[in-house]
Chain A
Amino acid sequence: MHAMRISATQLELPAELRIQNIKTWVEEQIWGHRFYNDQTPWLMLLEFLSLCAYQAVHLGGNRVFPGTVEKKHEFISYELKTQYPLRYLLFRDRNLDECEREDFASETARLDEWIRRAKKDADVDYGYLRDVFIDFRSFASAVNLLRSAEIEQHRDRRWSSRHLAPVGPDMLMADYKPKPNGARPEHDRRFFARGGELVYLMLNRSSRRESLDGLICSRLLADQDRWNRMVNKIISPASVRSENIHATTGYLPLAHHPRYDLLAEDWHAILSLARLPSDHLIEPLMRITALNVILYIIERASEELERNPPPLPIDVISAGNASIRKLSTEHYHLHREMSREAIKHRVNAFTETDEWKQARVAVNRNKQAMDALVRAFRCRSVIDLKDTPERQVEKVIEQAIKNHDSHLGRVPGFQAQQIGLAISRTGAGRWYSFSDSLVEALVLTNVTIPMEYGEFLQRLWNRYRMVIGPAVAEQAFRELPAPREQFKANQERLEDRLRVLGLLRRLSDDCAFVENPFVNPCDPTRGTPS
């Protein structure tokens, strides 16, 4: 593992960023403001792309990232489009189905009726659609097609928080809380909770930033994409109500971190797959981004505690592999515990400082202590002048942990489950595992030229701290924490799964290659003429 050289100093908060409704500012100093458990990996990606889309327009020149200035935290003010007419059409409208079913004198009448009803329901004049589609049927097909491209359809979200899988900039929509009676919609930060902004800042600070600019623009923000063009035809730019929501970016404490670069390399790898159609890029990107965020959270906690980050043992078999499962469960909980300890540690570390030591023994020590704590952790609303300094510290920790347990503390586990990195079973607990989609995403990201299977496993350890087989287990743990045969069986099972997914080829007893089918543009044919 490469040594971690982290700049110990945090960046100062940008002056323009106003903190409201925060009871303690502890976890934010470690991880940032903020990652939030209601934001699924998909929504994190969408928030990120929305910010990119805005920047692409405003920075110009095929750029998405502004770059950094030494020691200065970025502050970006941006806008998101609510896209109300599109949102209504896709996620609120009921009249389309009804009009399809009812009898009408002519197709023109059918379309006219729908337009009339829509005006009544949505207060939007869709009359321009008469010039876009040849008949009602075409219009209905187009809308149904778009509806089928919705992400996370199984979640029953409010209509203002449903989104399409984005293939172009005009398919991106703001996420907001609708207000009744035409009042201005509110960016309630519930789903676009800043996770995407932090990912954006990470990539902006990575060493690969410049290579990502062009790739993101050409592959994810292509307005000439067919889907994007279709959406454009459906929403008329002129005179239709679509307000903008304003937002500003959050806080990411460290100016540099190895994980930023690893994330950027992964993005670069996926976006460079010329043979993978663009609309198939976003799903692996969603998974790999969340994976890197999870690792960031674990790594920051470890750095705070000055320990080596515990590995992620992956139970591939999930039946009859008891020791590995147990090991994986233990580490899952360990990671969760570590972030809580990191918070305690951060507050307790403050009590080692001279500032605190002097405050503690001062004459008006309660007030001195309180001032010191408030300066460090903005925790005014939590402590009382009547509390002793020790009690004050306790209260700060209690509040920070309480907050953490409901939000950031849950993020790694939640995101892990969403991307297929973790499984939860009632009665059996939670542990790290692999879904097929995650396995595929890992291969797409990490394999260019065919890679020997052992090398692939080594790479998963080097980049993501994943432990699957015995060779890596020996590197990760001083002694094997589970029987070697179980690790071996674990490794063989993953090999089987890779093979079934078409990602692995066995040449002989000893030799298996992991292959990425979407690489190698020079050789579209498989097999050789004999």
Chain B
Amino acid sequence: MTNNNPLVDFLRAYGPSSASDNMYDEHVVEAARRRHVEPISETPPRLKQIVTNCDSVFPETIILTGTAGDGKTYHCRKAYLELGGLSHEFAASGKIVEIKLPKSGMMLRIIKDLSELTEAEKEKELDHVARVLRGEDNDKVYLIAANDGQLLKFWRDFAYKHPSYREVEETLRAMLKDELEADPREQLPLRLINLSRQPHHELFNNLLDRVVEHKGWDACEGCEVCATCPIQINRRLLASSEDASLRGRLTNLIRLSAANDSHFPIRQLLLLIVNILLGDDDPNDPLLTCKKAAARAKNEDYRLTNPFQNVFGLNLRQNIRMQYHAFRTLDAYGIGCETNNTIDDHLIYRRPEETGRDDPVAHGCYGLSLFESRRRAYLKGENDADTFNDFRKGIETQRRRMFFALPASDEKDLDPWRLTVFQFGGDYLSFMDKVVRDPESVASLKASLILGLNRTFTGTLCDDRDMLWVASPAANGHDRLGRVLECSPLPIGGGSYERNLFVDFDNKGLNGRPCLTIKSKSPPETMAAMDLRPLLFEYLMRVSTGSLPSSFSRQCYEEVRQFRLKFVGRFREATDGRLGNLKLVLLNAQTGHLQECHLGFKDLTT
């Protein structure tokens, strides 16, 4: 007798479906209520800050921004409840709801979603907001959920019509552009909270726990297929919290994507989790039900419920899959297509035997057994188009599993990141963690980055890792060979060197990203900074291991070029004409190192 767990039905609501998800939050709450299941609820990261603000004696207006699916409306609802409001009142109140704040006596006016308002309503409300911000109305304070773009557009038009509010628009624009939470001039009582700028990998972990440890799973007890049910198998796989696991590697991918400015909104995280758990390669219905799961278990059709394929949304048709941000982002890593000989050897020839500890269950139903017949066919030499196609798909599936199964290894060829386009992805994550906490431990990564920069700047295959040579092409600017040395080579770190200028790595980039900077000691100043996004990090590492600077990424080449220009501009401004003669930099063919070359003028007066 198979059970029919209502939790499974409920979870399907979070998954990829064609239902329009305008008021997503309310839709999910409604679904939960209908099935008598507790909704997945996670304390929203900024809730405390919002409630504390509203509960204070002088509350400020808060604007919540962020991409669709980041829980703006969810935050509003939770805040309302925390402040004493009732759930059904929130649901029934339409686009705007008000609640009295006990401590300050002010009225909190919550706009649940600015995009839902008509033009006339927006005009009226934002006019009022402007007056509140300028201190012309001390009875009200606002909490608004809005999309940055619309907010800015609306306010720009508004300020055009009401020139006296131009200041508000300018402040808002500056805050949005520089991602500031408060008015830098400390004049407007306003907080701008961007929900897309939260580190979501922690949230991902918590959400996973909520799903995997939900009380509703108790209802599976007694079901006859419980031990072999693909849903349960996938659930166990998701529960594992080792580094080499679905959870561990996905967390890494999410962190890496966030650092690359490709953020996963909460809605997408839930979608991903549910798709991994319930994904089924069935064109009629991409998610399992209890009934289907039982059928799969009986027929041992595990190849259709493979969670390692589901991670990438491969249970969905291509055009549908690409509509979801989560799958688009993960697809970009190329997992399944990237590989090297060592890993493929293991998969095809089983060499060496025991590479990577595998969960025997996973190994059992999703592992090499899935692949066995195709492998044999390949080894036998059956290479017609169809067989080979099957083989190729099979090995791609295995590579995807290997990415989640291979432990991090000192042996570079067996590093799981070799299975992605970010070959240095693992290095990036440890760099991000340790660059400030334990700089010595990432010294060799720093050296490689400097080498990458030197090669890009000078256009030579030099071997200099301990100093940065800032070389520019001659005046015309389009030459790739950097010949003019802008200043003496810069050491890494302030250290004990006597030079005033030096290279430093800090984590002051957006979201705590690592940043490569050129600083001066006196006066203490950061002269130029370059955010080390994973793509740029990858670029520099690849150049340091032999790639040509202009081949891997045009975008990165331009970023490096701009970094140089910004430094040179600032440097010349600072030295203000006290520059000496032109200096050249040359690559010494014998030593492979760069050297300074003064243009030997006899007259030393400059």
Contacts and interface: CB of A to CB of B under 8 A. Distances in A.
A61 interface: no
A500 B566 contact: no
Interface string B349-370: 0000000000000000000000
B470 to A, nearest CB: 12
Interface in B466-514: 473-477, 479, 483-484, 508-513
Nearest to A500: B555
Most buried by A among B477, B568, B606: B477
B147 A508 contact: yes
A420 interface: no
Given A135-B600, A165-B476, A279-B475, A524 B148 contact: no
Interface residues on B, range: 35 or more
A452 B528 CA distance: 24
A230 B515 contact: no
A133 B559 CA distance: 38
A7 interface: no
A229 B604 CA distance: 12
A133 B150 contact: no
Contacts of A178: none
Contacts of A528: 178-180, 508, 510
A518 B558 CA distance: 14
Contacts of A132: 601-603
Interface string B510-539: 111101010000000111110100000000
B572 interface: yes
Contact of B526 (A142, A510, A513, A525): A525
**Residue among A230, A452, A512 facing the most chain B CB atoms (10 A cut-off):** A452
Contacts of B566: 275, 517-518, 524
Interface stretch (A115-123, A145-153, A367-375): A145-153
B152 A452 contact: yes
Contacts of A241: none
B149 interface: yes
B581 interface: yes
B95 interface: no
Interface in A217-250: 224, 226-227, 229-230, 233
Given A145-B474, A525-B508, A511 B147 contact: yes
Interface string A268-291: 000000111111100100000000
Interface string A120-148: 00000000000111110110011001001
A306 interface: no
B487 to A, nearest CB: 12
A450 interface: yes
Contacts of B153: 452, 454, 510
Contact of B558 (A167, A500, A527): A500
Contacts of B512: 530
A507 B569 CA distance: 27
Contacts of B147: 508-511
A169 to B, nearest CB: 14
Interface of B: 65-68, 147-150, 152-153, 156, 173, 176-180, 196, 261, 473-477, 479, 483-484, 508-513, 515, 517, 525-529, 531, 554-555, 558-559, 562, 565-566, 568-570, 572-573, 577, 579-582, 584, 597-603, 606
23 contacts: A132-B603, A133-B600, A137-B600, A141-B584, A141-B597, A145-B474, A148-B473, A149-B476, A224-B577, A226-B580, A230-B599, A283-B476, A283-B477, A455-B156, A501-B558, A502-B555, A508-B147, A512-B149, A517-B562, A517-B566, A518-B566, A527-B509, A527-B529
Given A510-B148, A510-B153, 16 more contacts: A134-B602, A138-B601, A145-B474, A149-B474, A277-B572, A452-B156, A454-B153, A500-B554, A502-B562, A508-B65, A509-B147, A509-B149, A525-B529, A526-B509, A528-B508, A528-B510
